[in-house]
Amino acid sequence: MRVIPVGTTGSFALTVAPEHLASQFKDAILPPVLATPMMILVMENAALNAIRAYLDPGESAVGSAVCIRHLAATPVGHRVTATAAVTKVAGRRIEFAVSARDEVEEIGNGTHERTVIDVRRLMQRLEAKGRAG
């Protein structure tokens, strides 16, 4: 992993489709609005995009913490754009301030943490775990 400067930013956008709605993704009793886990997915992708250029070959960065507020509902057809800014780097742990907006307003914000991993080592651990189960 190369040095990741504090302040590095990334973004990711998603047009809300029926499969992203709480009423489809989670439970039919919920309203037809963007599901919170889908909003978090957009934020996590923005964070990954912020640091992608700093990862060495064979590295990735997995989500390790999320603290998010979902502030406003977004219906199908709207475009959600998330941004992530690096706020702290501590070894392999990277912290981000994240937010998401639709065309009208901010719909969520909070913090997210990712941990840089060696993909080959992770795959070896998963293989061993598969044999144990």
Which segments of the chain have a pLDDT < 70? 133
Tell me what pLDDT residue 103 has. Answer: 96
- Catalytic site residue from 44, 95, 112, 113: 44
pLDDT tens, position by position, 44-74: 999 999 999 999 999 999 999 999 999 999 9
Question: Is 83 an annotated catalytic residue?
Answer: no
- Catalytic site residue from 20, 70, 95, 112: 70
Tell me what pLDDT residue 133 has. Answer: 62
- Catalytic site residue from 8, 19, 20, 36: 36
**What is the distance between the alpha carbons of residues 16 and 127, in angstroms, rounded to a whole number?**
35
Question: Is 44 an annotated catalytic residue?
Answer: yes
Tell me what pLDDT residue 115 has. Answer: 98
Q: How far apart are the first and last CA of the chain?
A: 32
The helix/strand/coil state of 10 is: strand
Domain range 9-132, its CATH number among 3.10.129.10, 1.10.10.10, 3.40.50.300, 3.40.50.10860: 3.10.129.10
Question: Is 127 an annotated catalytic residue?
Answer: no
Structural domain spans, the chain: 9-132
